């Protein structure tokens, strides 16, 4: 039961209502303290169940981490609440949910993409060892991504993962440029060590200039202070610092890996045939294919 609409239009109407207590009449305002508070504006539902949405923005303060704050809220606030009310269910939304979806997708399908890229590189050079050297070098480039986020005080985010995905292609391209030059030198009759040194020196300037111009182009975005750029800065950091590390690895670490694999192939060839090749280039696919082509041409 309630008063009709004309009798409950204002707080004054309620205060002037008469209440009978123990046979005596009193005005409501004389015995009741009325406080105005904001009521529920609307009820939201998700999958047919009533939902309460709690959201917040992370302030741009030093050492702030959305993942750390989410962990704190879950451990200190949500978990005790769920123990007290077991019928309540929680769901994390926003960027945390999207990042979880991307990570799940990478875990389930990322290996397929990496495998496909590895097969393509292997077929391009027709050399398993050279493709392995490329990807070993590329994965070490992710150390630059971590250092970049540490230097600028950013946490790994969804856009950081996007930057790392783009970085893989850039690192592989740099490595392919150097290995292509190596194979050309080998086909031109150079010794393996000389071919490797010449390839590294001849590709030093193109690889370095490409990296410098790319990092210089991303620098304004990395140091941008506007709110609109904050979402893209982690992606720019991932690409720029990963590329800096990848440049060093491609010019220094990759030749070392290639030389090590060449020595290993010489040993494997000796174990299989009993013949020792003092010239490392003799076991490389580029030279083997060149010799095969010469034999075919002679027979024709």
Q: What is the DSSP string of 248-299?
A: HIIIIIHHHHHHHHHHHHHHHHHHHHS---SSGGGGSHHHHHHHHHHHHHHH
Residue (of 188, 193, 190, 162) closest to 255 by Cα position: 193
**Is 257 a domain residue?**
yes
If 0-12 CB within 10 Å is exposed, 13-18 middle and 19+ buried, where does residue 34 land? Answer: exposed
- What's the token pair of residue 88? 């309540």
Q: What are the residues whose beta carbons fall under 8 Å from the beta carbon of 47, sequence distance 6 or more?
A: none
**Is 90 a domain residue?**
no
Strand, helix or coil for residue 26? strand
Question: What's the confidence (pLDDT) of residue 59?
Answer: 63
CATH assignment at residue 265: 1.20.1640.10
Report how many domains make up the chain: 3
pTM across the whole model: 0.64
Is residue 239 a contact partner of residue 214, using CB atoms and an 8 Å limit? Answer: yes
Read off the pLDDT of residues 100-120 as tens digits, 9 standing for 90 and up: 776 777 777 777 888 888 888
If 0-12 CB within 10 Å is exposed, 13-18 middle and 19+ buried, where does residue 179 land? Answer: buried
**Is 287 a domain residue?**
yes
Question: What's the confidence (pLDDT) of residue 62?
Answer: 54
Note down the domain range covering 53.
44-84
Is residue 133 a contact partner of residue 103, using CB atoms and an 8 Å limit? Answer: no
Sign of the alpha-carbon torsion through 10, 13, 19, 24: positive
Both 140 and 68 in a single domain? no
- What's the token pair of residue 172? 């592989």
Both 220 and 99 in a single domain? yes
Read off the pLDDT of residues 10-26 as tens digits, 9 standing for 90 and up: 777 777 888 788 778 88
Question: What's the confidence (pLDDT) of residue 65?
Answer: 61
In this structure, the number of other CB atoms found within 10 A of the CB of residue 162 comes to: 16
């Amino acid at each position: 039961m309630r008063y009709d609409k004309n009798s409950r239009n204002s707080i004054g109407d309620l205060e002037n209502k008469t209440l009978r207590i123990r046979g005596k009449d009193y005005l409501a305002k004389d015995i009741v303290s009325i406080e105005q508070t904001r009521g529920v504006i609307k009820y939201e539902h998700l999958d047919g169940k009533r939902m309460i949405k709690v959201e917040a923005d992370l302030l741009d303060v030093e050492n702030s981490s959305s993942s750390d704050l989410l962990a704190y809220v879950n451990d200190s606030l949500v978990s005790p609440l769920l123990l007290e009310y077991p019928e309540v269910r929680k769901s994390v939304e926003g960027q945390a949910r999207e990042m979880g979806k991307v990570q799940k997708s990478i875990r389930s399908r990322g290996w397929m993409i990496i495998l496909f890229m590895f097969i393509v590189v292997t077929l391009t050079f027709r050399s398993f060892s050279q493709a392995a050297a490329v990807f070993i070098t590329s994965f070490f480039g992710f150390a630059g991504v971590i250092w970049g986020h540490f230097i600028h005080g950013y946490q790994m985010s969804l856009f950081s993962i996007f930057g790392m995905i783009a970085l893989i292609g850039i690192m592989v391209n740099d490595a392919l440029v150097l290995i292509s030059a190596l194979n050309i030198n080998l086909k031109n009759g150079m010794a393996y060590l000389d071919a490797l040194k010449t390839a590294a020196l001849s590709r030093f300037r193109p690889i370095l200039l490409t990296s410098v111009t790319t990092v210089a182009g991303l620098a304004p975005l990395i140091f941008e202070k506007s709110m609109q750029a904050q979402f893209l800065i982690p992606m720019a950091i991932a690409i720029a610092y990963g590329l800096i590390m990848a440049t060093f690895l491609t010019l220094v670490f990759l030749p070392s890996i290639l030389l090590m694999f060449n020595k290993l192939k010489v040993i494997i060839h000796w174990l299989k045939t009993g013949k020792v090749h003092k010239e490392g280039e003799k076991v490389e696919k580029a030279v083997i294919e060149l010799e095969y082509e010469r034999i075919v041409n002679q027979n024709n």
